[in-house]
Amino acid sequence: MEEKIIRGHKNGLAVLLLILLVYVAAVAGIVWAAIALDDGGGAAATVLMAVCIVWVSLGWIFLCGLKVLKPQEALVLTLFGKYIGTLKGEGFYYVNPFCSGVNPAAKTRLNQSGDVDGGGKAVSLKADAETVGKRISLKIMTLNNNRQKINDCLGNPVEIGIAVMWRVVDTAKAVFDVDNYKEYLSLQCDSALRNIVRIYPYDVAPNVDTTGDGVADEGSLRGSSEVVAGRIKEEIQGKVAQAGLEIIEARITYLAYAPEIAAVMLQRQQASAIIDARKMIVDGAVGMVEMALERLSEKQVVELDEERKAAMVSNLLVVLCGNRDAQPVVNSGSLY
């Protein structure tokens, strides 16, 4: 379905004034015909009264052709089931009064901007659904999808949520090519999110290829959020293009391990941090011991044999690598 833009119909105000003038003339004609009939008027007065009464009774039908659009709004019109075009742009329009607006997503309320009120509750007023709901917003909308529990490439369950900025670019496709473009977008976001998250580990892991080139890399959900968001956006765009939607941006709004393994993974991270810290402490301690032995040898402060050097190294490593402060023991006797 190709979109057809209706142009040159911004004459709603002139038509409204004309209809009101005709109504005033019809009322005046009824009064004049009634007076004429009382005075014995002829058939002309009877015909005039009949015409005026018919207009007063049915003239309101022409008011149904008046359409008002705000900036960044569109209205898809059909005439007896046939698509005749789309009104775009702010203005006061007049179209065929038998045309009806179509918006299958008018009553669909998602967790997104434009579909919830200030308190976060869905708008359910009948008047809103019948009037404003038939109009299609062309503004950039934000869909805040619910958090999902998905297994990453290592099988660890993670919870992730995304926010998707989108807008309607082809009203005909959005209305006629899919059943409900809002629900369609939400489902495609869920599907794309699962497809991309399953490619990455939560944190950097060895021997994991996230790019598909056959070479292990350091991609991860936590460390490569920009890359992951870009791939999610491309995945969603490829699925919703046929619905006339454009994905502006996708962003990860929540990322964490699932509650059932969060404590275990925290212990794992703590253990990894402790090991890294210990490695750094040992490297520093070995360097300090080497420096101490070299300085003692250079200054010729004391001559130590291999056994005494080993004892000194052991004592220094205990002092430097211990978790608690060392308690020195003073030897007042001979070294040997």
Residue-wise pLDDT for 283-310, tens only, equals: 887 888 788 777 777 776 667 777 777 7
User: pLDDT tens for residues 247-287?
Assistant: 999 999 998 888 877 666 677 677 777 777 778 878 887 88
CATH of 137-257, one of 3.40.50.10710, 3.30.479.30, 3.40.50.80, 1.10.10.60: 3.30.479.30
**Cβ atoms 78, 103 nearer than 8 A:** no
**Cβ atoms 167, 138 nearer than 8 A:** yes
- Where does the pLDDT of residue 36 fall: very low under 50, low under 70, confident under 90, or very high at 90 and above? confident
54 vs 108, more confident:
54
- Where does the pLDDT of residue 336 fall: very low under 50, low under 70, confident under 90, or very high at 90 and above? low
Mean pLDDT, to the nearest integer, of 170-174?
A: 93
Q: What is the pTM of this model?
A: 0.70
Interhelix angle 181-197/225-240, nearest 10 degrees: 140
Q: How far apart are CA 136 and CA 115, in angstroms?
A: 12
> Is 74 exposed, middle or buried (CB count within 10 Å of its CB: 0-12, 13-18, 19+)?
buried
Q: How far apart are CA 244 and CA 169, in angstroms?
A: 6
- Where does the pLDDT of residue 7 fall: very low under 50, low under 70, confident under 90, or very high at 90 and above? confident
Mean pLDDT, to the nearest integer, of 202-224?
A: 84
Mean pLDDT, to the nearest integer, of 117-123?
A: 39
Among candidate residues 159, 227, 178, the one with its CA nearest the CA of residue 219: 227
Question: Strand 141-144 to strand 148-151: parallel, antiparallel, or no bridges (unpaired)?
Answer: unpaired
Alpha-carbon dihedral sign for residues 203, 207, 211, 212: negative
Does 325 have pLDDT greater than 90?
no
Integer CA distances (angstroms), 315 to 119, 176, 334, in order: 67, 81, 18
Sketch the domain layout of the chain as residue ranges: 12-101, 137-257, 264-321
